[in-house]
Chain A
């Protein structure tokens, strides 16, 4: 099976070569592991950037939303998500990380904060820099299921080819 050949842990170097934050960098994980990790979250939040509107990725967002994971639409992703009928809440990513580090924030549904953030479809350097806020100042788990290795996440894929990326996302969704 194609999925068995897929190894998302390869090429785990920052997509921006100089983006070496320090001794604590993301563990490169297989897609199955990422999926299981997400499925164990009690209060997950899928944070999607503008590139999540790309063909292929948008279906993954839909699948995850249908599995009950709330979707925070950052950048200008909301327009495409709404067109696709996917329920999401717009929020500025910079503002969102400041809310997430606030223990008094009640979340989008008023039920409290989130224990796991899942990043998908972001401008690489932008998301990387804002993940560092969560990494350094919160206990929230950060998992990147984006195409490129994110050192500031807790778990991330390595740098993937476009086809492998979509396959990896399918594997993630299958675990939910």
Chain B
């Protein structure tokens, strides 16, 4: 007999109700030991945070010097002054950064809760978790909460925990609560950690219920790009992150054989998740394509769910007679709720334009209505030729009306030289606009600045039509987790350093110099045998560019967790699988107990696993919370040049030797080590500065000689390639001659002798004196005294 959760009555004893809340299996009883911090409250990992923050001190970069948080103010905190409530600039900035982290965590957790409620209703709480060939099915959840979920219903208390922590953290930002910058940082790290739990829940339940790829290295390739849509067909565009409603549309289209009659496409993470459910769907692209694509007039119907959807959606779509159906209560745009109305009535009201959009929370109705409506809308709209883009004649007139005042340039967050492109366009040269198209993030701020009311975004898109038509790439659909067998195969290479590192390219498309950067970064690191993991908007943009043979990176490189492979985990919430991978390495390769054992696992990850996150175009609160969650797990993160607007970073000071002491877990002895990783959260100005920084941040104190040699080789080569010099700190990562790159060993020994005063035995080509420490293959680096034999805190 299978005992399930739920309410039961016994025949003849109808007055007695039996509630079974949790079924404990015999396997579960034999689980690994529980660690010291299952489901930790805010303060329980504070010691770990303080260890991190002592080494990686927060550095604040206020985006506003005022505090406008209560009616005491505004308070001028310039120069670290205190406001009326007593908070100083430093603590206020820490609070602001923490609030953003928390907002990101809430967005993911809210997404997860909506999806969990929906999927439990649809599939039942007992629906089993199936993420692929893994015993560790929910590594982040297990590490943080100490439980091993087996069914989707098991995630209910997990999200209860996440939501409680978010509430408690939010409470601390009220006036008269926390006043310490460093404790706000600890709270931000806590928010980042619970964010990864919320993300993991969201993705595991959808993988399990919606038949998405399960640790599938060869997940299907799908089309991506603004040029892939056949606009002669009705075009149904979905935007957002929550795939729940869209699955009903796909089911209806399959049942009615509509996939060859309707173009079903999406922008942002809903696109990833749609293609994971059904690869017949198409990916228009990342967030920066949203306004551009709407303005093209190509979509005949837009379905929105939640997150990263433009706030001006209704203004934009109304002008173009594109109906909008909102399917999630996070985004309702003041629209009427028509969930209880007849489908045909709704269709008529939207097609006639009587209503610009509706709310529809009945997903069965969404599934049927959307295909029917888009087929009705398409001929109406196509006959009228509705588009926001100017005709050739209008384009010339608009470009000629530009007075070169430069207001658009000052209004542009990227400072793009739109004025110069206008000037060239008047002369018939569109190349500047074509270049600008990729760099433009499609925000539309320029239009509000133009004194001539030129619809600048439309002008850019019109001028770049040739380029846009060619925007046709491929992205591998999100594969989900890295499976346990892959960890068994690759973990040793990663820990030993023979695989130089994991570069996780995540986040949004607010790139400083266009989307091509992320493609080139990924390509270079893949060629150097790093494992490149990606997700979200970055994963799409990486697939937008091709080599000379017309192949994208996804076609050129495998999707396994092996060196030189490119893995797309999936949507934003799939970022949890990246942190989960490092946890799995600790569990499977190093046999660490992970249940409720966050600190030990984070300590292991930080000292052993050369993983680095890169949010090159990160601009959302979610990108910050994802990064902050990585940070608490000991994974350094690099941001693009917009990154300091998040208000704080965690930087290391390599010159302060006292900050780089580690313990040897074998005996508790203290060892001064090289600064590895040097920073926990930092930004770079451009791609050229970024490349050697990525390689440097892969160094770990636990590297063996071979691993260090390989990592040093890449660091030196990338520095020489992009900065034109041997990095001035390369020598501090040398512990013996065996750490030196083979091809350059003699040359580097000479540099060590002549420039750094090291003593070299030239006959044996050995270093006699100089390194800060020697290699000890048995060294067990740790930052946590309690993990040392015979030592106490």
Q: Please, how many angstroms separate the alpha-carbon atoms of A21 and B68 in the complex?
A: 13
Instruction: Say if the beta carbon of B79 comes within 8 Å of chain A.
Output: yes
Cβ-closest chain A residue relative to B678: A95
The reply on B645 being an interface residue by CB < 8 A is yes
Are A136 and B415 interface neighbours, CB within 8 A? no
Q: Which of A76-120 contact B (CB under 8 A)?
A: 76, 78-79, 82-83, 89-90, 92-95, 97-99, 101-102, 104-106
Contact partner of A95 among B65, B449, B679, CB < 8 A?
A: B679
Residues 128-158 of chain A, each 1 if its beta carbon lies under 8 Å from chain B, else 0: 0110110111000000000000000000000
Partner of B65, one of A22, A79, A105: A22
What residues of chain A lie closer than 8 Å to B76, measured between beta carbons?
A: 22-24
Residue in A21, A23, A97, A123 whose CB lies within 8 Å of B685: A123
Contact of A49 with B by CB under 8 A: yes
Q: How far is the CB of A12 from chain B (nearest CB, A)?
A: 13
Which residues of the other chain, B, contact A16 by a CB distance below 8 angstroms?
410, 413, 415
Contacts of A132 in B (CB 8 A): 61-63, 65
Most A Cβ at <10 Å: residue of B89, B653, B693: B653
Residues of B within 8 A of A124 (CB): 415
CB of A90 within 8 A of CB of B728, answer: yes
Q: Are B61 and A129 in contact (CB under 8 A)?
A: yes
Q: List 7 A-B contacts (CB under 8 A).
A: A24-B65, A50-B688, A75-B684, A99-B653, A99-B655, A125-B415, A137-B90
Residues of B close to A133: CB separation below 8 A: 59-62
Complex-state Cα separation, A105 to B723, whole angstroms: 24
- Closest Cβ neighbor of B724 among chain A residues: A79
Chain A residues within CB distance 8 Å of chain B: 13-17, 21-24, 49-50, 74-76, 78-79, 82-83, 89-90, 92-95, 97-99, 101-102, 104-106, 122-126, 129-130, 132-133, 135-137, 159
Of all chain B residues, the one with the shortest Cβ separation from A91 is B728
Chain A neighbourhood of B512, CB < 8 A: 123
**Do B651 and A50 have beta carbons less than 8 Å apart?**
no
Contacts of A102 in B (CB 8 A): 653, 656
Distance of A110 Cα from B411 Cα, bound (Å): 42
Residue B682 interfacial (CB < 8 Å): yes
Task: Give complex CA distance A62, B38 in Å.
Answer: 59
In this assembly, does B444 line the interface, its C-beta being within 8 Å of a C-beta of chain A?
no
Q: Is B457 an interface residue (CB 8 A)?
A: no
Give chain B nearest CB distance to A93 CB in angstroms.
6
A104 cross-chain contacts in B, Cβ below 8 A: 656
Whether B644 sits at the interface, judged by CB under 8 Å, is yes
What residue of chain B has the Cβ atom nearest to residue A79's Cβ?
B724
> Inside 8 A of A97's CB, which chain B residues have their CB?
59, 61
* Bound form: Cα–Cα A130–B648 in Å: 10
Given contact pairs A98-B57, A135-B79, enumerate 19 new A-B contacts (beta carbons under 8 Å). Answer: A13-B410, A15-B415, A21-B63, A21-B64, A22-B65, A22-B76, A49-B685, A75-B686, A76-B689, A78-B725, A79-B688, A92-B693, A98-B59, A99-B653, A105-B655, A123-B641, A125-B413, A132-B65, A136-B62
C-alpha spacing A99/B723, complex, angstroms:
21
* Cβ contact of B651, chosen from A14, A83, A98, cutoff 8 A: A98
